[in-house]
Amino acid sequence: MLKLSYTCLFSKNAPGALLLTCILISLSTQSRAQQFGGNPPSVEWKQVDSKAARVIFPAGMDSVGLRVANIINQMDKVIEPTIGNKHRQVSILLQNQTTTTNGYVGLAPFRSEFYLTPQQNSFELGSIHWPELLSIHEFRHVQQYNNFNVGLSRVLRIFFGDGGQALGNELSVPNWFYEGDAVFNETHVSSQGRGRLPYFFNSYRALWQADRNYSWMKLRNGSYIDYIPDHYPMGYMLVAYGREKYGADFWRKVTHDAAAYKGLFYPFQKAVKRYSGVSYAQFRTDALNYFKQQFPAQTIAPLAKGHFVANQEFPVYADDSTLIYLKSSYDHIPAFVIKKGEQEKKITSRGLVADDYFDYSNGKIVYSGYRPDARWGYRNYSEIRVLDIATGKEKNITSRSKYFSPSFSADGSKIVAVDVATSGKSELHIVNTADGKRIANIPNSKNLFYTYPKFYKESSIITAVRTPEGKMTIAQVDVKTGESKYLLSLSYQPIGYLTIRGDTVYFSATTGSNDNLYALSISDQKLFSVKLPGGDTNIGHYQAAVSNNKITWVHFTVNGFRLNETDKGNTKLTELADKALPVGLSNFNISALQKDSATNLLASVADKPLPVKNYNKAYNLFNFHSLIPDISDPNYRIALRGENVLNTFQSELSFNYNNNEGYKQFGFDAVYGALYPYISAGADYIIDRRRYYRGNNVYWTETDLHGGLQIPFNFSGGKQITGLSIGSDIYFTNTSYRNGYGNLDRRYAYLNNYINFSTHIQQARKNLFPRFGQSFSFIYKSAINLNANQFLALGTFYFPGLSANHNLIVTAAHQEKGQNNVIGFSNNFAFSRGYEAENLYKMNKVGVNYHFPIAYPDAGVANTVYLLRLRGNVFYEYTHASDFYVDGSKFKANFRSVGGAVFFDTKFFNQESISFGIRYSHLLDRDLFGGSGSNRIELVLPVSIF
C-alpha cells in the first residue's frame, strides 16, 4: 500500500547505550525516501516563497505550485491551535516526473516532496485533487516537527541539528500519532479524507469480524504469517477518539509533554494518562472499541481461521466457467492464474507494476508495467504490457509512457488507457493492441481525471471521473469530441472498478460505512443497487466480473482479498431514484470533525496571486543539517552532514580520532549528482600517525586527496530488477615524516576503477532473498607511475531452495595484487568465515550457503523488542591463497570452514526493523594468522537495517 507520508519514528524511550545506533538508523532510513540526483539538469525550477513554506516546482507547473502555497498559507493559522504555534519554513519539492503516488516530510534535512501523479483507486486515498490532499496531509507533518522541537528534543537539536531532533521525536512520539493526526487533518479540513472512507477501515473490520484479539505489540510490529494493518488506520482511530473524548487540544498537550520528555521514561504513555485520566492501555482499548461499534455487528466469517492465505484480485471471465485473476501471497510473488471449476493453474508471474489492475480479452491480458528511467531516479514510466496466456509470452507495446488502467475493446484490437502527463493533465488515449501505436487522443476540456475506462460500443468510453473539485461520477465520453455526459449525480463518494456487460456498467461506490456494488443501465440511465449473497457480512464489494450467467466480486477478509462467485439469479437489483448514490459519506460518529473553523476549510481557500520566482539550483548548496557521532572502537568519529533541498549535492565535514595510533583525522567529502556522471571529491588531513620502525616509533603527517566519476544505471523492467554502476576514482597521498625520517616521505597516486551489476526477480514478503538473481563486482586499483595494482572480482548467485522461502546462495571471489607492490591497497576480499584475514598475493574463494526460516514467533518483551522471525544459515567456504616468502619461495594454503548461524529479525521500540545473528564457524584448516582452536562463535554485527 502506498503511503502519503514518510515517517521513521520510535514510540519508546531507548536505553542510553542505543542512542547512537538509533540516530544512525534514523538518518540512514530517512535518506531512503529520496532519490539522489533524481532530476535531469534540463529541469528549470520555480518557487513561491512564503513564511510557512517555500514551494519549489518545475517550470510550467505554476498553477499547482500556487495552489499548494495558498492552501498551506491559508490553512496554517487555522489548524495550528491543535498542535502548536511554532514555525519554521519548510521547502516542498513538487515532483512531476514520477508515476508514483506518494509524499513525505522528513528531518535531516528538513524538507518535503510531493509526488504528483494520482492513483486510479479512489477508495484508498479518496478523490480530492491530489496536490490538495498532499497539502492538507503533509503540512500537518511540518507542524508536528516544528512543535516537537521542545525540551530534551530541543537540546538534542542544539547539539546534533536536525538529526538530534529526529532522534528525540522518534523516541518519544509513536509513528501512529504522526499519521493518525495527519489523516484527521485531511478529514477535518476537507469534505472527504480517509477518515470518511470505509476502505480505510477495512483492515480493522476484518480483524474484528474474525475475532482476532492480537496483542498491542503484534498490532504495532506486524507479522510474516498473519495479516496486520499498518499504523495509519490505527493512528486515525486513536487520534480521532482522543479529539472526540478529551477535546481539540488533547493531543497538543500530550505530544508537547512527550517530545519535551516530561516524565523522562515512556513520556508519551505518561502524558496520555495525565490528560485522559486513564492508562495508556485502557485508552487504546477504548478508542478501538469506539470505532468497532460504528460498524454493523458481524458473526465470525467462515474464512477467519488460519493465517494469511493470499490476495485474489481483479477477476475476469474467460468463459462462463473459467476465471482469470491475480493472486499474491506472502510466499510467492504476484502471478496471473486461471481457475476452471476447482482447478487453479498459474499462467505466469506478473512483472513490475505500480498498480495491480489488469484487463482480459480473447486470450490476452493487458496491464501497466513499471519501468524506471535508466538514469534519473525521479523519472519513471508506466508502459502497457500485453500477455498471451496460451504461450506465457508478454511484451511492451508502449515505451516511456505514463499509462494507467488499460482496457481492451470488445474484439481486443484496441486498448483505451488513462494518460497522465507531467503537467498533471489526464487524457484518454486509444492505442493499437498489436504495436501500441496511438490511434486517438480524446480531448478533455473539463479537466477531468479519468479512472478505469471501458469501451462502450465503438463511439464512446464509459469511465469513472473526478472533477477538479474532487467529486465523482460515471461519464460517457465521446471518442471523437471528448464531450462528457454524466450518468450519475456528482458526489464525494468514491467510485471505481468498472466493468461493462451489454448495456450495463457494474461498479463499486462508497455508501455510508461500506463500499457496495451498483449497476447502471447506460441507455436509460437507471441506477440499481446490487444485493449479493452474504452482502451484509462482506467487507466491501469490489472488482465485479460478470458473465452470461454468473457474477464474481472481491471482498476483504483477514486472510486477504477473496473471490465470491454466484449465479446471477441469486442477486437482487433495486432501482434507485434520481441517478444518485444513497447515504453519502459517514463521519463514523466523530463530531470533532465539524466543531471549529477548520471544518471543510479547503473549500474556502482562495487562489490569491503570489509572486513566482526562479529557484537558484545553487541555493544553500551545503545546507549542513546534522552532527552525527559514530563510535566504533578504536575510531571515534563525528561528522557534520549537508544536503541541499534539490538533493543534488551531499557533503560532509568530519573529525576522527583513532585510539590505537592516537592520530587525528580531518576530512571533507562531497558528491554532486545533477549531471549524468556523479562527480565526487574529498580530502583528508591526518596528523600524528605512527608505526614502529627499526626499534622506534616514527610519526608522520598524511594528506589524502581524491576525486571521481560514477554513472549509475537502473535497467529494471518487465520481471527483472537490474542495476549497473560504473565509476573511477583517483587518489593522491602525500606522507611527511618527522624527526629526521624524511627519507621515508612518499607521494603516490592510484586509480580505483569499478563495475557493479546486479539483477534479480521480485521478492515476496516472506522470501529471505530473491529466488533467482546474480550480482557481480569488479574493482581494479592501479598506481600511477609506480609498480602497484590489485584486482578484485566478486559474484553472488541466488537459487531457490527446497521450499518457497529457502535459498541456495553460491558466492565466488578472486583477488590478486602485484607481486612487488609498493602500495598496500585496502583489502576487500571476503575471507572464509572464522579465519583472521590477511591481504595475500592471490586469493580465490567459493562459498555455498543455505538459508531457511526456522520459526515466526510473533512475540515481544515489554514493548521494546519484538521477534518476527528466526532464520538459519548453514555454509561451507573454501579459500585458496598464495604468496611469497622473503626468500622468494612460494607460500600456498587452504582455508576451509563450515558452520551455521541463527538470525533474529526483530523490531525495536515497536517501529524499527533490525536484524542480527549469532554464527558458529568450525575451521577445517589451521588459522595461520589468528588465534588457536578450530571453533569460533561470533555475534554478527553491526546490525543490518532493512
DSSP state at residue 118: P
pLDDT at residue 31, as a whole number: 41
pLDDT at residue 821, as a whole number: 82
* Residue showing cell 464489494: 541
Distance CA(517)–CA(354), nearest Å, equals: 25
Q: Using DSSP, state whether 69 is helix, strand or coil.
A: helix
Instruction: Tell me the longest C-alpha to C-alpha distance in the chain.
Output: 102
All residue ranges of the chain with pLDDT < 50 are 1-32, 943-946
Angle between helices 250-259 and 267-276 (to 10 degrees): 150
CB 127 within 8 A of CB 90: no
pLDDT at residue 696, as a whole number: 77
pLDDT at residue 942, as a whole number: 55
* 673-683 pLDDT per residue, tens: 999 899 999 99
Q: Which residues contact 284 (CB under 8 A, 6 or more apart)?
A: 216, 238
For 886-945, the DSSP string reads TTS-EEEEEEEEEEEEEEEEEEETTTEEEEEEEEEEEESS--TTS-SSSEEEEEEEEEE-
Instruction: Locate 193 and state its grid cell.
Output: 479524507
* Residue showing cell 516530561: 262
Q: Using DSSP, state whether 520 is helix, strand or coil.
A: strand
* Residue showing cell 478529514: 187
According to DSSP, the residues that pair with 374 across neighbouring strands are none
According to DSSP, the residues that pair with 510 across neighbouring strands are 515
Identify the structural domains of the chain with CATH numbers, from first to last: 16-301 (1.10.390)
Using the Cα atoms of residue 862, residue 865, residue 866 and residue 869 in order, give the sign of their dihedral. Answer: negative
According to DSSP, the residues that pair with 511 across neighbouring strands are 514
Neighbours of 423 (CB within 10 A): 13
Q: Is the peptide bond before 468 cis (omega within 30 degrees of 0)?
A: no
CB 387 within 8 A of CB 393: yes
Distance CA(808)–CA(181), nearest Å, equals: 45
Distance CA(601)–CA(640), nearest Å, equals: 41
According to DSSP, the residues that pair with 474 across neighbouring strands are 464
Q: Of 660, 656, 746, which is closest to residue 700 (Cα–Cα)? A: 746
Q: Which amino acid is residue 40, in one-letter code?
A: P
Find the helix or strand (DSSP H, E) in which 82 lies. none
Using the Cα atoms of residue 128, residue 134, residue 140 and residue 144 in order, give the sign of their dihedral. Answer: positive
pLDDT at residue 6, as a whole number: 33
- Whole-structure pTM value: 0.94
CA dist 390 → 316, 335, 364, 395 (Å): 16, 15, 8, 14
* Residue showing cell 506478473: 350
CA dist 211 → 207, 289, 298, 299, 816 (Å): 6, 13, 10, 9, 62
656 burial level (CB within 10 Å; 0-12, 13-18, 19+): middle
Distance CA(201)–CA(203), nearest Å, equals: 6
Angle between helices 198-209 and 280-292 (to 10 degrees): 100
CB 915 within 8 A of CB 891: no
pLDDT at residue 827, as a whole number: 85
* 639-682 pLDDT per residue, tens: 999 999 999 999 999 999 998 888 999 999 999 999 989 999 99
Distance CA(451)–CA(403), nearest Å, equals: 11
Distance CA(366)–CA(345), nearest Å, equals: 19
For 727-751, the DSSP string reads EEEEEEEEEEE-TT-GGG-EEEEEE
Angle between helices 267-276 and 280-292 (to 10 degrees): 70
The values of phi and psi at residue 622, to 5°, are -80, -45
Distance CA(198)–CA(508), nearest Å, equals: 12
CB 433 within 8 A of CB 394: no
pLDDT at residue 692, as a whole number: 67
pLDDT at residue 630, as a whole number: 87
CB 76 within 8 A of CB 606: no
Neighbours of 86 (CB within 10 A): 14
pLDDT at residue 699, as a whole number: 87
For 304-367, the DSSP string reads GSSS---EEEEEEEEETTEEEEEEE-SSS--EEEEEETTEEEEEEE----S---EEEETTEEEE
CB 820 within 8 A of CB 787: yes
